[in-house]
Amino acid sequence: MNQNRAAIRYAKATLDFALEKKAADAVEKDMREIAATISGSEELQNLLESPIIKSEVKKNSLLEIFKDSSEITKGLLQTLISNKRIAMLQEVAFKYIILHEKLKGEEVAYVTTAVPLTAELEKKILATVTKATGNTITLENKIDESIIGGFVLRVGDTQYDASIANKLNGLKREFTNSL
């Protein structure tokens, strides 16, 4: 089983348990904190991924860093450590946030463009994605000049790549395969 599917399963199980205990919002807050903390600390990323560092050290470190987290979140940390899956903690946190937002009828659409979106274009994209998903959508625009032009739209686990870089790579593959 690949890491993405495993992360979704852990996130779903955690969400189900949090809903049962009526603590889903508190756990989402914890997951946002975990995702931000791991993203902002290269040392923490190295600690989680290191096969040399003992599980007990990882467990104690994480429980100290996230000592203000809910019991459900602490239980998730201990489960991931005991199953030797702690390296996927950040991915589980992201998946939990996505699943909980979807459950609340909210989603974030990530639009990657080479230049910032105009207000008019942002409204059109927002209207189209809202109509397609039926959920309340928040739009986040990321700038990545390497896509050359066009856009890449990601909502949840679905991605639509209409970038110039992707089209050029497709042409390159076609020419290479036809030789």
Whether residue 144 sits in one domain with residue 84:
no
Q: Are 145 and 112 in contact (CB under 8 A)?
A: no
More confident site: 73 or 107:
73
29: CATH: 1.10.520.20
Q: What angle do CA 28, 34, 35 make, to 5 degrees?
A: 90
Q: Are 86 and 47 in contact (CB under 8 A)?
A: no
Q: Residues 27-59: pLDDT tens digits?
A: 999 999 999 999 899 999 999 999 999 999 999
CA pair distance 139, 128, nearest whole angstrom: 11
pLDDT of residue 77: 93
Whether residue 140 sits in one domain with residue 86:
no
Per the structure, how many domains does the chain have? 2
pLDDT band at 2 (very low <50, low <70, confident <90, very high): low
Whether residue 123 sits in one domain with residue 159:
yes
pLDDT, the chain, mean: 90
* Region 86-94 average pLDDT: 93
Q: Last residue of some domain: 102, 135, 167?
A: 102
Whether residue 24 sits in one domain with residue 92:
yes
* Region 90-109 average pLDDT: 88
What pTM, to 2 d.p., does this model score? 0.68
Residue 117 lies in domain = 106-178
- Res. 13: pLDDT tops 70: yes
pLDDT of residue 26: 95
Whether residue 135 sits in one domain with residue 70:
no
Whether residue 167 sits in one domain with residue 86:
no
More confident site: 147 or 106:
147
Q: Residues 127-147: pLDDT tens digits?
A: 998 898 888 888 889 899 999
* Region 112-120 average pLDDT: 91
Q: Residues 144-175: pLDDT tens digits?
A: 999 999 999 988 778 899 999 889 998 999 98
pLDDT of residue 57: 92
Q: 135, 132, 127, 131: which is closest to 106 by C-alpha?
A: 135
- Res. 1: pLDDT tops 80: no
Cα-atom radius of gyration of the chain, to the nearest Å? 19
Whether residue 10 sits in one domain with residue 98:
yes
Whether residue 36 sits in one domain with residue 123:
no
